[in-house]
Structure 1
Amino acid sequence: MRMDVRVLGVLLGAVLLGLALWWSPAGSVAAAQAPSLPKGGESSLAGTRRPAPPAWSGPAASANLDARELELRVLVARVRASLGRSVERASSQGDFALAPGRILEGILARRCGLVRLHARELSAHRERLGLTGPDAEGFCRDLLFSLLQERLSLPEGTSQARFWESLKRVDEAAARHVLENPSTSRGETFRPAYERFRQERRDLVGPEVERKLFGLSDELVRLPLRVDELAHDSSLPPAQRMAAYEDLLQRISREYGVELASVVEPLELAKNALRLHETAGTLGSAQRQALLERYAGPETARLYLEHQWEQQDRDERLRAFNEERERLLEQLTRAGLTPEQLRERMPGIDQQLFEKYHLQ
């Protein structure tokens, strides 16, 4: 029992000694050694660690410059891609064949906001970014020209000035031959005038550039002319006319890699087909609807037919209104009313007829 008391005393003493050491500042883990001061006696929260160099010092400034240049390159790529999409959409419209210079100028005006916003920084990096223009408009024109140069495989040595000047002259030729020529409002005179314009355009830009830049838009200009030819070709039965129309659409789609419905309103394609079918006689309502749905889809076909029915119904009511008005006017004239009296009576009569035929 005494041994147990002695052992217990030793253990208790060891515990007390440990507690004393734990509370002692000299033995405390929390009492870290004071940091040594750097030369000069100035204290630092980082101890002996030297402060990080400022962000604008040599290596860091160079890294920031590279990062900003990369951002500008991304910006330039974004603008170039936007210009490319706009040109692709524009060149797949018939108007582009007749006014390429004006349409491209419009694209430059609308799609270069980012370039204008960052013009100063782009100017500082113009050589590394491959820009030669004097300002934001010139930078954007550089991007569009490089895009067209790549897509059209322009002849070696073609300058920007020469390219834009040729498109300006194309616009002028279109105005002279087609757009400002009153005689071209008729189909039989439009076709030869357009072909004369195309020949001059080919001389201005070269046959290869003309084919690549204006091929699809030319096809879209000539599409309704070709439909008109088929509709008036009495030597072809309706089935062959439709086959020729289908072949034409498939050829355009195949040669230019486009879905015709993406560059021509599907309803216009459907109306062309309807016109060719009805050269042999008016189709029934079910046949018309089926043909329209084939080209334009069910919803567009439904809306078109509803509009046609409403227009036809209104035309019939308007015709009945005019017939009854003329009849009443004759009756009043035979009854001896003077022109002055007729002018006084007719507004009231017209109002009654408007209400009767639901034309208000």
Structure 2
Amino acid sequence: MITLGWTWATSFAAKMYRKDTQLPIVTMRSLFHNVVVVASLAGLAQSSVMAQKSPAYSFIQKISLPGDGKWDYLKMDGERERLFVSHFDRVHVIDLATSKPIGDITGLHGVHGIALAKALKKGYISNGTDSTVTVFDYNTFRVLKTINVPGKKPDAILFDKYANRIFAFCNGDKVAIAIDAKTDEVVGKVEVGEAPEFAVTTDDGLVYVNLEDSNEVVAFDPKTLTVKHKFSLGTGVQPTGLAMDAATNRLFSVCRKSKTLVVLDAATGKIVQTVPIGGGVDAVVFDKERKLVMTSNGEGTVTIMHQDSPDTYSVVQTLPTKPGQKTLVHRGTTHRIYLSGADLQADGKTPVAGTFGVYVYGPAANE
């Protein structure tokens, strides 16, 4: 920043000096000195603003959890301070007040995502291996029902308040399955397109979902189950994670092949900015208070960006994590992020037995 100020100062001073002005040399030196001082202060001010943006995230703790096998989505319930962690054949439930596990939902088959219908005191889990959705009691964690879904490999799952429905997005198919949250019966499906991934809801009439194979974001009406919009993200980008800033109506789609965050206007689909991020990305979150977009990259980093304006984003930190930590959730009250994972063997893929857990990262307490 100071270098930019110096360049501007010298250019300005040079323009001020012309042969026809015949300024005394002392006056010229004074003018040049004053311009440089102002420019330097401006540069320092800009540097200070950038420093204030920087969240200075770092590792806080690991919450160790039993069992081995693959992991996927996490689900945050900030109101009751609970964290739900998918883990192969079970979902762990952690009390965030104590950072201790308080229960497990077991007997699952290739678990992927978790959705919560808290007003109905129920939760839902997508099982990719046997194409089912498990319904559980939110208070006791007891399994209430297993729903067979007419689609292959349900992956992402969410609850939409507007329609009072659960949507299971079948990554091995082209559909999102709609489930009535009161009756727990399948009531329809949406033909969204190839390989749906992460999804978000506005809770007022639209659900957005990334399409991994066709490189698009699709928006549909959760009541009529009709597609309203299709927005292109480019060619060969492979979108995975999706988040939204409702206040500015911006979508944040992270793309694994292109290693980019694509920011879209949710109303028009216009791409307003593309930001480079780390490799192996799977998820993205938005901290609306601090205006931070954070992406979990399987290579072992989190890319943290500041929302300077609805259409301008700047990288403020690349946080080292651990290879394989590719999904995350955000806790609004503490601004902490939670990533699941395990130590990996020499092949970089196989988990080391007994090392699974949730890794917590966040800003310093006084920031």
- TM-score scaled by length of structure 2: 0.21
Structure of higher CA gyration radius: 1
The structure where helix makes up a greater share of residues is 1
The structure where strand makes up a greater share of residues is 2
- TM-score scaled by length of structure 1: 0.21
